[in-house]
Amino acid sequence: MANLGKPFDPNEKEPAKAFDILPTAWYAMQIVDSENREAKTEGHAYLWLELEMIEAVHPELKGRKVWARLNLWNSNQQAVDIAERELTAICHAVGHLTAVTDTDVLHGKPMAVKVKAVPAKGEYDASNDVKGYEAYAARFGAGVPVPVSTGATGTGKAPPAGTPPGAAAGGKMPWQQ
């Protein structure tokens, strides 16, 4: 049995909705949150991105979310190279073509995001994977929508791409200094 500490009133919130997997397609999205997260493998970490559907193109899907992981701090150089190319694609998609030291500069900017439907396999349910990023106008035409403010509050702090895992003294990740 679990004690909730105080009475919980189920009438105070909207019930959570179950969502079907999005079909494979390009969607109008924006980054609304980002954090550095440690991976299961010690000394490895990734940049976690929360992407939210914006109203344009698919208004019925406004607010739907997908998540991406960029393995920027990994002992496998190929994984790091792939993640750096993905981050480069995001920067180009949102029109930020200068050095990035904080991912907040990428938040709230419309872009086209390729989402792939991944069928269920074995013990894993069906899911969505992010497979590409393009400029909004290149995929959907002129008239870039005004970004939607969501009030997300991630850390948004990312160390420079390519920072080696565990490079900091004391075994801390670079952003934990």
Q: 145 falls in which pLDDT band (50, 70, 90)?
A: low
pTM: 0.75
**What does the pLDDT average to over 121-149?**
84
pLDDT tens-digit profile of 105-128?
999 999 999 999 999 999 999 999
Q: Rounded to an integer, what distance in angstroms lies between the CA atom of residue 72 and that of residue 160? A: 9
**Mean of the per-residue pLDDT values for the chain?**
83
pLDDT tens-digit profile of 64-101?
999 999 999 999 999 999 999 999 999 999 999 999 99
Q: Residue 16 pLDDT more than 90?
A: no
What pLDDT score does 163 carry?
45
Report the CATH number of the 25-141 domain.
2.40.50
Q: Rounded to an integer, what distance in angstroms lies between the CA atom of residue 174 and that of residue 177? A: 6
